[in-house]
Amino acid sequence: MKEITTDRISYGYRRVHVLLKREGWKVNGKRVYRLYHQEGLGLRRKRTRRRRSGVQRGPCALATRRNECWSMDFMHDAFTDGRALRVLTIVDTFTRECLAVEPATGFRGQDVADVLTKIGVRRGLPEMIRCDNGTEFTSVALDQWAHANKVRLDFSRPGKPTDNAFIESFNASVRRECLAQHYFIDLGQARSTLRAWKDEYNNFRPHSTLGNQTPAEFSAGHDQKPDRSEGRIMRV
């Protein structure tokens, strides 16, 4: 347990229990919980009190297959010399696969379109992408790309990040498990660190909403129809 939590300090006792079972340890969750707290392995997280809105809204429809819906957003960080660092994050909302954690000092709409095109070449494009109203996502370049590739852009309501809750939850994991644990000297170091974390997230880290499978295991366990966008992808 100490070895696991030393390498992955943000993992709670439930995820530690899953990893111990993978390694062949026959131990129940109650014992892991007791030892986890007895050894002081847990992190105390400050919970922010949020004001509840009186306005209720219906939940977004859940994706039922791979490449039905992606979510994307930007995260902000900084290099050790104070320069701004932005990270484009993209996830498949059904399989929870991390499709991109792409760092750069700045992004334009065309840069976002280029990242989406690269992903589409590997796995096909989605029917819909959820995003906020940032200038890169509302740009002419991305609008033209979406129209050319028949991808619908679903924009969150201004000031309502919960409209895109999947990416908000994912970004919290990126912050807690990667960005908050590293200092980046340059873009090359940031890119290699984020890519290593992306590989661990998809192929090693158990995901509680997927029955403690990894996103890669969950995706492989579902028979998929051929993606509608496999083939020629339009670059604009």
Which domains, and CATH codes, for the chain? 2-38 (no CATH), 69-220 (3.30.420.10)
10 pLDDT band, cuts 50/70/90, is low
**Amino acid symbol at 177:** E
Residues above pLDDT 90, as percent of the chain: 56
Q: Could you give the CA distance from residue 34 to residue 15 in angstroms, rounded to a whole number?
A: 14
Q: Tell me which residue of 175, 168, 212 sits closest to 197, measured CA to CA.
A: 175
Give Cβ neighbours of residue 227 (< 8 Å, ≥ 6 apart).
66, 67, 123, 124, 125
pLDDT tens digits, one per residue of 150-201: 999 999 887 777 788 889 999 999 999 999 999 999 999 999 999 999 999 9
Q: Could you give the CA distance from residue 103 to residue 194 in angstroms, rounded to a whole number?
A: 8
Q: What is the pLDDT averaged over residues 103-123? A: 96
Q: What is the pTM of this model?
A: 0.74
Could you identify the residue written with the tokens 């484009």? 88
**44/174: higher pLDDT:** 174
Beta bridge partners of 98: 91
- Phi, psi dihedrals of residue 36, rounded to the nearest 5°: -60, -45
